Amino acid sequence: MRLFGFELGREKDLCLAELSSVLGEKNLVEHIYDIAIFDLDNKENGNHIKNIQTLQDNLGGTIKIIEIVETIDAKTDIATATQTQNKIEQFILSYFEKYFKDRYGKIPFCISTYNLKNTHTLNIKQLLNFSKKILKSLHLNSRFLNKGLENPKSSAIYKSGTIEKGIDLNIIKGSKSIFIGKTSAIQNIDDYSLRDFNRPCRDMQTGMLPPKLAQIMINLTLGNTHEPKTIYDPFCGTGVILMEALLMNHLAIGSDVEAKMIEYSKKNCEWMIKQLNTQKQHELKLFQKDARLLTKKDLPEKIDAVVTESYLGPLLTFEPNQETMDKIFRELSNLHLNWLKAIKPLISQNTKILLCLPAYKTKNSIKTPAVGGLPSFSRERAERANSIIHFPKFSEIASEAGFQTLKIFSYGRKEQIVGRDLVILKNI
Ligand SMILES: C[S@@+](CC[C@H](N)C(=O)[O-])C[C@H]1O[C@@H](n2cnc3c(N)ncnc32)[C@H](O)[C@@H]1O
């Protein structure tokens, strides 16, 4: 067993699905709220996951990766609490003596705990003080990142260089064990914000797909892959998906109905390749085309995955009423039916497509859209959410075009009027 804990981003289901797709669902050992524990000691993963930071850099939905270095039996009753506390202190003592041997300077240090609140089994304050004492006995000054007993923010861990210079010690309570681990890699927030905000061409009208979400979309579609693949985005806009595909060493093909967007994608991808400062050849192909009119000569023989933030309708600054929503859904139904029909003969059977649909937040109670009843999956989810209107009957549209709907995930921020539903289809 080579266990690693992955701290999941905001949309837990989506982030866990990304991990299961990349690392293999069968390698999931345990999912505990914010953390998913995977065993990376297996043939598929063991050989190609050598660099944990590279893995982290390719996972849009993971905040940090924790290498599990000790597993302790988890007993929740108070009688064994002291025993558990002692075991963790013993671990800190022996691990720190090894880990910080020959170190000097100030050591940034913190403890992050998961699923331990309200169990009263551990005294974190005592553990923090104990750690400080051990570091002192090793003649090391420490700088604590914990404010009170709260977990430090991941941005604070990243900015303080804790992973390189110190340690972020994690204590995770699982169903049967307490996992202890040190953070080995953390989301590089500077790189993400560089790609998000400093790329040369941005366009408010086309919406702003976060690079992290583009990575998740690629990973959900391609799954566990070790070799470069060909990814096609037929609604490429400013090229965020293409940029992320190139960054993950894939071949990227993009098209858009607007010439301006092809120019934007070209500038952005070229800028990103320049940032990478490598000699490696990155393969990018761009062309202007209405996705509904795609033909065989537009695309190479083999497309491994189609990943796209397809057109989401006009930019809305107000909560849409029923009429506006129905109009957008009708327009998009036609667009999707037609481009899916056009692309079907150009891709092999079983090829996956991931596309985005708009989902509207509304304060009004749910009414059945005029374009027909909500399909069962949408109705269920809409009723549960009670304030989100999902695209009606999309799986029927997909089926008419010759695709099977495999999965749907929701993605949205609290303040957004229009969220996205990510739909994964398979060419049947
Ligand atoms: C939501 S934006 C995509 C934004 C993109 N993810 C990015 O990184 O900027 C949708 C894009 O679809 C394009 N579009 C709309 N209708 C289209 C069609 N029929 N065929 C191809 N592209 C189309 C728009 O020009 C727009 O650039």
CATH number at residue 17: 3.30.2130.30
Do 150 and 133 lie in one domain? The reply is yes
Q: For a substitution probing ligand 1, which of 212, 238, 243, 257 has the most ligand atoms within 8 Å of its CB?
A: 257
Q: For a substitution probing ligand 1, which of 197, 202, 203, 206 has the most ligand atoms within 8 Å of its CB?
A: 206
Do 293 and 159 lie in one domain? The reply is no
Q: Ligand 1: which atom is nearest the Cα of residue 290?
A: 20
Residue nearest atom 3 in ligand 1 by C-alpha distance: 237
Do 144 and 283 lie in one domain? The reply is no
Do 416 and 331 lie in one domain? The reply is yes
Looking at the predicted structure, is the pLDDT value of residue 409 above 70? yes
User: Average of pLDDT values for 98-126?
Assistant: 82
Do 124 and 264 lie in one domain? The reply is no
Looking at the predicted structure, is the pLDDT value of residue 158 above 90? yes
Looking at the predicted structure, is the pLDDT value of residue 261 above 50? yes
Q: What is the CATH number of the domain that holds 374?
A: 3.40.50.150
Do 181 and 195 lie in one domain? The reply is no
pLDDT score, position 282: 79
Q: Ligand 1: which atom is nearest the Cα of residue 233?
A: 6
Total domains in the fold of the chain: 2
Do 269 and 232 lie in one domain? The reply is yes
Distance of CA 236 from the midpoint of ligand 1 (Å): 6
Looking at the predicted structure, is the pLDDT value of residue 79 above 80? no
Do 394 and 303 lie in one domain? The reply is yes
Find the domain containing 272 and state its range.
Answer: 190-427
User: Which of the four pLDDT bands, split at 50, 70 and 90, describes residue 276?
Assistant: confident
pLDDT score, position 121: 66
Ligand 1 interacting residues, C-beta cut-off 6 A: 206-207, 209, 234-235, 237-241, 256-258, 261, 290-292, 309, 311-312, 335
Among residues of the chain, what percentage have pLDDT more than 70? Answer: 90
Looking at the predicted structure, is the pLDDT value of residue 322 above 70? yes
Mark which of 134, 156, 187 sits at the end of a domain: 187
Least-confidence region, from 2-6, 170-174, 330-334, 342-346: 170-174
pLDDT in tens, 133-145: 999 998 888 888 9
Distance of alpha carbon 88 from alpha carbon 171, whole angstroms: 9
Question: Average pLDDT of the chain?
Answer: 88
CA 208 from chain centre, in angstroms, equals 16
Looking at the predicted structure, is the pLDDT value of residue 403 above 70? yes
Looking at the predicted structure, is the pLDDT value of residue 418 above 90? no
User: Average of pLDDT values for 256-274?
Assistant: 95
User: Average of pLDDT values for 164-186?
Assistant: 92
Mark which of 133, 155, 187 sits at the end of a domain: 187
User: Which of the four pLDDT bands, split at 50, 70 and 90, describes residue 370?
Assistant: very low
